[in-house]
Amino acid sequence: MMKALLVVEDLPAIREWLVETARLAFPDTEVVAVARCSEGIEQAALRPFDVALVDLGLPDGSGLQFIQALRNHQPSAVPVVVTIHDDDEHLFPALQAGAVTHRAGKKGE
């Protein structure tokens, strides 16, 4: 059973959508949301998370930095990259850092 999920997304509307979707899908799971890489790293150092939904482009660093820090603090946590990018340049570094990816569909898909 998933107990805690972390959302690391800087865009408020997308962050709120991810939080709402996570709460609907996992009603018994605590959902924590942050907007910056540093805030995500801080949360990961403070408490355990089962899953982290991570944007790659954050205002104070890359989502890859967060994924690496999460893997160091919590090797059993599953980082999932939530992105509109589907090219090798974005996805391979995320996979190498330890992420799982889910490509968000384009409008109408």
The residues, any chain, with a CB within 8 Å of residue 68's CB and separated by 6 or more, are: 97, 98
Judge contact between 94 and 64, C-beta under 8 A.
yes
Closest CA to 43 of 11, 83, 10, 5: 5
Residue 1: pLDDT band (50, 70, 90) is confident
- For 62-106, write each residue's pLDDT tens digit: 888 999 999 999 999 999 888 765 656 656 556 666 665 555 554
In this prediction the pTM is 0.81
Checking if the pLDDT of 49 tops 70, the result is: yes
Checking if the pLDDT of 53 tops 50, the result is: yes
